[in-house]
Amino acid sequence: MEPTDVNRRMFDEVHRRAGEGRAALPAIVKQTLGDLTGKNVLHLHCGSGEGSAELAELGAVVTAIEPDETLLEYARERWPSILWIPADAQALPANLLRGRFDLVYSPEGVVERLGDVDAWAAGLAAAVRQQGELLVFDDHPVSLCVDGLLRWHADYFDDGIVRLGRVATALARAGFTIRALEEYPVDPAGRRHDRRIPGSFLLYAIRS
């Protein structure tokens, strides 16, 4: 499911259109994932569950985690066939650390909230089986340092910023082999930034 020139072009085309009615899973994510029939998928910080439901529609057996119990209650009512677990991406419960998932999907909003990038990466490595896959699609850390007028309001090299290099290094140290790392001029919601500033990134890796 490695990103290709085709899905990169698809990403640009989709996000030329208005963002109204945007699906829970961004188009580039659905294109990259493809058919998930029979795969065990762990969805991090699933929110109110729409993205998890779309993963299930792609054929996956989905386990979804979310630290907000209110959102999980809503998700359970709508999609009772999905396993919903209250948990944080940096501290996965022991029953998820058994190397049984074929794929882990880390969506928008996870990376910027990480206080311990190494703990997050180690947890993912313990959750996914050998040769299992990881897909991260999130806000680009640089975009979080500028406002809508491209004025810098934060130092990208401040210790509080989860830089892209830190993410890649932590995953490599945890045992992942990064196969693709792409950057895009729109954020995960499809809003276009100035093309000089990356808005989102997609990282695809395999558990060695």
Distance CA 72, CA 87 (A): 10
CB 48 within 8 A of CB 77: no
Distance CA 167, CA 111 (A): 8
Identify the DSSP state of 146.
Answer: B
Distance CA 156, CA 146 (A): 10
Residues comprising the chain, all counted: 208
Distance CA 64, CA 164 (A): 24
Q: What is the pLDDT of residue 29?
A: 95
Alpha helices in the chain (DSSP H): 5-14, 27-33, 50-57, 69-78, 117-127, 164-174
Q: What is the pLDDT of residue 193?
A: 61
Contacts of 144 by beta carbon, 8 Å cutoff, 6+ apart? 112, 154, 161
3-class SS shares of the chain: helix, strand, coil, % to 5: 35, 25, 40
Q: What is the pLDDT of residue 18?
A: 32
Contacts of 194 by beta carbon, 8 Å cutoff, 6+ apart? 150, 185
The per-residue pLDDT string of the chain (208 residues; one tens digit each, 9 = 90 and over) reads 655 555 545 444 444 433 333 348 999 999 999 999 999 999 999 999 999 999 999 999 999 999 999 999 999 999 999 999 999 999 999 999 999 999 999 999 999 999 999 999 999 999 999 999 999 999 999 988 988 777 888 899 987 899 999 999 999 999 999 999 999 988 787 766 667 889 999 999 999 9
Contacts of 12 by beta carbon, 8 Å cutoff, 6+ apart? 184
How many angstroms separate the Cα of 159 from the Cα of each of 110, 171, 190? 17, 18, 28
- Count of alpha carbons within 13 Å of 91, Cβ hemisphere only? 6
